[in-house]
Amino acid sequence: MSRPLQHRLHSRLELAAQILDLPLTRHQLERLAVELTPAVKAFLAEQADSDAETVPVRCAVIGPATDEEAGVQTTTYAQCTSRIGLDVDLDSPAARLAEQYRMRQPDVIATDVPSATYLGLTVRPQSLNAWRWWVDKLGIATDKVTVQGDAAYAVGVVGDVAVQVQAYGVPALLTDRGTARLMGLLAETSPVPT
């Protein structure tokens, strides 16, 4: 058992009891601190673990490789591949949008920028909420989403950029059809006439 944590918890409980004018004895406060310490310790460990998962990770960049024949430059970041046409300006709308998604969205697996106004985006949403975010962000109509195998495909528009998205794992997320329909992720279907 963590003695320093137990002492800190005891002092906080004592302060709370005084502020709220609770009729607790010193023995009761000590007992509360002893009983709550393991639960608080577990909670703090879970929180630290959760924070570690959401903190941006510094990643190694594997230098750009140029394929002159295909006319593409490929750069690999940690778990994300970026491909851009050699004739595409890095300041073009599609290139800037691809960089923004790569840097800020952990769902992004790959970006392909063959022209200044087209972005091929490969993502792996971790939840229905994450997929809903992509659908909204890319302006995709739910009835225009095609599911094939373990991925969903759709085309949306962001500003002047057409974005074709391939989202791995979405069919598995959509297995809870009721929740998906409530979130607006499934197009309404009419009953089959009998």
List the domain boundaries for the chain: 3-54, 62-182
pLDDT of residue 175: 76
Angle at 105 between CA 111 and CA 91, to 5 degrees: 50
Question: Hey, how many other C-beta atoms are within 10 angstroms of the C-beta on 194?
Answer: 3
pLDDT of residue 48: 73
pLDDT of residue 33: 82
What is the pTM (predicted TM-score) of this model?
0.60
pLDDT of residue 191: 47
pLDDT of residue 190: 45
The answer to whether the CB of 140 falls within 8 A of the CB of 154 is: yes
Angle at 116 between CA 131 and CA 110, to 5 degrees: 40
One digit per residue, pLDDT tens: the chain, 194 residues?
567 877 888 888 888 888 888 898 888 888 888 888 887 777 777 777 666 555 554 555 566 777 778 888 888 877 788 899 999 999 999 999 999 988 888 889 999 999 999 999 999 998 888 888 899 999 998 888 898 999 999 999 999 999 999 999 988 887 766 655 655 665 555 444 54
How, if at all, do strands 62-67 and 80-85 pair?
unpaired
Which long-range contacts link 154-158 to residues 24+ away (Cβ below 8 Å)?
158/97, 158/119
Strand order in the sheet with 151-158: 62-67, 72-77, 80-85, 108-115, 118-123, 161-168, 151-158, 146-148
- Alpha helices (H) in the chain, listed in sequence order: 3-19, 26-54, 93-104, 128-137, 170-173, 177-182
Q: And the tokens for 14?
A: 């004592």
Element holding 111 (H helix, E strand): strand 108-115
pLDDT of residue 186: 57
Query: Tell me: the pLDDT tens digits for 57-92?
Result: 455 556 677 777 888 888 887 778 889 999 999 999
The answer to whether the CB of 44 falls within 8 A of the CB of 57 is: no
